[in-house]
Chains A and B, each alone.
Chain A
Amino acid sequence: MSRKVLLHVGTPKTGTSYLQDVLFRNREVLAAAGIAYPADRPDAHFLAALDLMQLPWGGLQAEAIGAWDALAERVRGHDGTAIISHEILATASRSQIGRALDSLGHNAGAEVHVVLSVRDLVRQIPAEWQENVKHRAQLGYGAFLDQVRDPERATRIGAWFWGVQEIPDILDRWGQELPPEQVHVVTVPPPGGAPEVLWKRFSQAFGLDGIDLDLEGERHNPSLGAPETTLLRRINRKANAELAPADYRPLVRELLAHQTLSRRTSSPRLALPPDLHPWVRELSASWIAELGARGYDVVGDLADLVGAPPVAEYADPDRPREKQVAAAAVDAITALLLDDARLRREEQRLREELADVRGALERAYATPSYRVRRALVVRLEGSGLGRGLLGAYRRARGRSSRSA
């Protein structure tokens, strides 16, 4: 039975992917320090979260069947501290949370802590729209903002947004059975600070100080500028009906969004529209007051939730400078062309290799010799033909989990 369980339940876009990456890569170092991060694959906790919350996810749910119980069993089987982390857990319902806490041994002696990392809404709102667009959404920024501001939260988008972003409500649900000192709020520092500050806060909240961890890796989910996001949205509009999710992931999300468009860093960034700042300011102030009053353990500073003032020159992604969109589109075409060409070349190489082996095989039959055949097998395997290099290449390009 784990003595202590640290359950990191959100929120998206607060450096969670980086944290999960560090934890996954350092599993053995952590284990030596008595900390379990029970995962056999990088998205193990994502699958467990899908299973717990009964969420279909583009076919991935088949891999998620039974994943939560399996994870909980490993947590219960560990003697020491265990960490679970995935940001979509933030939306879990009270009954799901009850089930989760039970399965982790909450009423059987384990000390469960909930950790929530949080970032100001000035950054979270545009980031969440962008995440939607990277997942095939076709709606414009204005329409997104309208749905987010609808007090009924009647649409899927509004319900999801607040489900993963409304900090007091998330902690109401997740903290329902826990004393406030077992609830930890980690704030993301304001933009422009030193990048290692956030890691130090995570390290403190998870009790990782003093463990020699390898901290290499991407710190950020690459983000897109305003014209790039608009371009992606228009691509969704045209391609959605025809492009299967399994192809969208590697080609549009990975190749175009993450590897190509996110490199265009000089275009205007997505931002919260200036006229929404008063609303967001008021809302954030009420959250800060509430969280302060609840007596949670705050790592960082609740004032980080205030957010930056409005940007001087707001770029409305619904009315983009078409020149910038066109320029981004040319980059996208170039990337697709080069990728397609690379794929065809690789295909050609494999074809030639195969023809080669076939020829050698025929000669080998002419002069039957075990050694010649053996050499051929070795060569075939060395070429990657037997293993399917391209398949691996594609899979690597299309990581299946959503990081937010």
Chain B
Amino acid sequence: MTAGAWAWVAHLRAGGTTPWQSWTSTDAADEGGYLPGAQQLELLRRLNVAGRPSPALVERVLTASAPGRGRPDLELVGVGEPRRFGPPAVDPAVLSDDELLRVATGLLAAELAAPVEMRDVAGDGPAGQPVSTSRRRPPRTRRFRTRYELAGDPWLAAAHTRQLTLDGRPPGGPGRSVHVLGSDLQTMLAHTWAAGSFGTGAPSWPDFLARVRARRRLPRRVDLPGVVERFGARPHTGRVGVVLDLAALPRLVGVRRLEPVPDVPAHATELARQVGAALSLHVVPAEQAELLASALLPRLARVAGPLPVVPAEHRDWVEDAAFGLRQQLLRARYPVVGDPDELLPTWSEPVEGSVLGLAIELLLEEAT
């Protein structure tokens, strides 16, 4: 039946979508040294179902090894003698999404890392330095601008700072005002997780929440009163205040308007997190963060969907913590723009998006 398996491989190479269990042909086909694993073959079949992978992508899928820990490359059920050793052969149709996702994220990571690795091989640019994929010239800094620095919610602060810098308004300067950005605690936690996932790495969303809870401390940047105190203690800092009403931010930083920061939905962030983990095998952490932010984020920002939702078992402590934040801000009489009640989360039901489906879309996008 090995011939059948090779024939199926040829079928998939040609863009076929027939599942293995329905495959009956044993037509002669080219045979390689060893059959690709069931995970790789099934991923290729799914790519064929979803679109038209390029020949180059097909080859990359068939020769890929899944990075990280998990099940080894598995053999197709019904090929040759039943194996007496090694993992049991499988019907590729029943493989879990996670197994296919390992292969897919490995391929996406390799794709992102390719320019960096080429550069390292070619020897231009020192290895280990973050590579900027946006070759745009740094904008001219405006002479007259409001001195500011953004802190607090890491996702909002980073995105607005990037935007303002591109507009010729980099942060900093003596006497700058520090605006500590905040929103409801569920959103701030989701943003912190997203910042890690698109940065140097994060645990999964449930693990992230479990860790915050176990530490009995909010993440540093989300602990708004703490942030205010830390900045207040720094030299050359002007007014330090909390901004909960983002509509007021343009005025505070001296611009007419600011583009709203797009939220990346939960399943897209999860994909970025897994691609990041695979990327950590190719590049150093600083480059990993740079590649995710500059090359992957723009592609994922188009994906629609809600932020991750705090599941029921964590809602009590998140509510308590949010209430605590609000109390601390009120009691310490820090300057707050907006209503401190904004910090309190409102709950909604989670919406599941397919991480694997998204990974397949991205792979196909690149292939065309």
Direct contact of A and B (CB under 8 A): yes
B60-91 interface mask toward A, CB cutoff 8 Å, 1 = contact, 0 = none?
A: 00011111111111000000000011111000
Given contacts A95-B73, A153-B88, contact A176 B34 (CB under 8 A): yes
Is the beta-carbon distance between A242 and B70 smaller than 8 angstroms?
no
Question: Roughly how many angstroms separate A96 CA and B120 CA in the complex, as a whole number?
Answer: 22
The answer, yes or no, to whether B136 is at the interface (CB within 8 Å) is: no
- Among B66, B69, B70, B282, contact of A65 (Cβ-Cβ < 8 Å): B282
The reply to whether the CB of B260 lies closer than 8 angstroms to some CB of chain A is no
A172 within 8 A of B: yes
Q: Which of A172, A177, A241, A242 touches B86 (beta carbons < 8 Å)?
A: A172
**Beta-carbon contact of B87 and A159 below 8 Å:** yes
B230 within 8 Å of A (CB atoms): no
Segment at the A interface, from B46-54, B207-215, B328-336: B207-215
Q: Does B73 contact A94, Cβ atoms closer than 8 Å?
A: yes
B109 vs chain A, min Cβ distance (A): 9
Binding site for B on A (CB under 8 A): 51, 53-56, 61-62, 64-66, 91, 93-96, 98, 151-154, 156, 159-160, 162-163, 166, 168-169, 172-173, 176-177, 241-242, 286, 290
Select which of A54, A151, A153, A177 is within 8 A of B71 by beta carbon: A153
Instruction: List chain B positions with a Cβ less than 8 A from chain A.
Output: 33-34, 36-37, 63-73, 84-88, 106, 120, 210-211, 213-215, 277-278, 280-285
Known contacts A65-B282, A241-B214, A242-B214; is-contact A55 B67 (Cβ 8 Å):
yes
In the complex where A154-B71, A241-B214 touch, is A62 in contact with B88 (Cβ < 8 A)? no
User: B71 to A168, Cβ gap below 8 A?
Assistant: no
Could you say which residues of chain B place their CB within 8 Å of the CB of A172? Answer: 85-86
Query: What A residues does B69 contact at CB under 8 A?
Result: 55, 156, 159-160
Which residues on A sit within 8 Å (CB–CB) of B36? 95
CB-CB under 8 A from A93, the residues of chain B are: 37, 65, 72-73
Assembled-state Cα–Cα distance A64/B283 (Å): 10
Report Cα–Cα, A162/B281, bound state, in Å.
Answer: 24
Which residues from A are CB-within-8-Å of B34? 94-95, 98, 176
Closest Cβ of chain B: how far from A33's Cβ, in Å? 35
Contact of A62 among B211, B215, B277, B285 (CB under 8 A): B285
Using known A-B contacts A95-B63, A176-B34, A241-B211, determine if residue A290 contacts B84 with beta carbons closer than 8 Å: yes
Cα A66 to Cα B283 in complex, Å, equals 9
Question: How far is it, in angstroms, between the C-alpha of A159 and the C-alpha of B65 when the chains are bound?
Answer: 15
Nearest chain B residue, comparing its CB with the CB of A153:
B87
On whether the beta carbons of A54 and B73 are closer than 8 Å, the reply is no
A-B interface, 5 closest residue pairs, ranked by CB to CB distance from nearest: A241-B214, A54-B67, A169-B86, A168-B85, A169-B85
Given contacts A62-B285, A93-B37, A94-B34, 17 further A-B contacts (CB under 8 A): A54-B278, A55-B281, A56-B280, A91-B72, A95-B64, A151-B88, A153-B87, A153-B88, A156-B69, A159-B72, A160-B69, A163-B72, A168-B85, A169-B86, A241-B213, A242-B215, A286-B84
**In the complex, which residue of chain B has the Cβ closest to the Cβ of A95?**
B65
* Docked-complex contact B70 and A159, CB < 8 angstroms: yes
The minimal Cβ–Cβ distance linking A172 to chain B, given in whole angstroms, is 6
With beta carbons under 8 angstroms apart, the residue of A65, A98, A154 that contacts B281 is: A65
| A51 to B68 alpha-carbon distance, docked (Å) | 11
CA distance A177 to B36 in the complex (A): 16
Complex CA–CA separation, A286 to B213 (angstroms): 49
Per the bound structure, the CA–CA distance linking A151 and B86 in Å amounts to: 10
Q: Write the chain B residue with the least CB distance to A239.
A: B214
Q: How far is the CB of B277 from chain A (nearest CB, A)?
A: 6
- The CA of A176 and the CA of B34, in the complex, are separated in Å by 9
| Residue of A54, A66, A95 touching B68 (CB-CB under 8 A) | A54
**Given known A61-B280, A62-B285, A241-B211, contact A166–B85 (CB-CB < 8 A):** yes
24 contacts between A and B (CB under 8 A): A54-B65, A54-B106, A56-B68, A61-B281, A64-B281, A65-B281, A65-B283, A93-B65, A93-B72, A94-B73, A95-B63, A95-B73, A153-B87, A153-B88, A154-B71, A156-B69, A156-B70, A162-B86, A162-B87, A169-B86, A176-B33, A241-B210, A242-B214, A242-B215
Nearest B-chain residue to A66, judged by Cβ: B120
Complex CA gap A98/B34 in Å reads 10
Closest to B34 in A: A94
A286 and B34 alpha carbons, distance in the complex (Å):
25
Contact of A166 among B65, B86, B280, B283 (CB under 8 A): B86
Q: How far is the CB of B126 from chain A (nearest CB, A)?
A: 14
Chain B: which residue is nearest A286 at the CB level? Answer: B84
Given A168-B85, A169-B86, A172-B85, verify A54-B281 contact (CB < 8 Å).
yes
Least CB distance, A386 to chain B, in whole angstroms: 25
Complex-state Cα separation, A55 to B120, whole angstroms: 21
* A242-B211 Cα distance, complex, nearest whole Å: 7
Interface centre among A62, A93, A96 (most CB of B within 10 A): A62
Distance in angstroms from B214 CB to nearest chain A CB is 3
Write out the residue numbers on chain A whose beta carbons fall within 8 Å of the beta carbon of B67.
Answer: 54-56
Once the chains bind, are A51 and B71 in contact (CB under 8 Å)? no
How many Å lie between the Cα of A122 and that of B120 in the bound state?
Answer: 48
B281: chain A residues within 8 A (beta carbon) = 51, 54-56, 61, 64-65
Q: Which residues of the other chain, B, contact A154 by a CB distance below 8 angstroms?
A: 71
Q: Do B68 and A55 touch across chains, with their CB atoms under 8 A apart?
A: yes
Return chain A residues, CB-CB under 8 Å to B73. Answer: 93-95
Distance (whole angstroms) from the CB of B31 to the closest CB of chain A: 14
Residues of B close to A55: CB separation below 8 A:
67-69, 281
**Nearest-neighbor residue (CB-CB) of A64 within chain B:** B281
| Distance of A40 from chain B, by nearest CB (Å) | 17
- How far apart are the CA atoms of A106 and B215 in the complex, in Å? 52
Q: Which residue of A lies closest to B37 (CB)?
A: A93
For residue A180, give the distance in angstroms from its CB to the closest CB of chain B: 16
Chain B hits for A241, CB < 8 A: 210-211, 213-215
**For residue B210, which residues in chain A have a CB less than 8 angstroms away from its CB?**
241
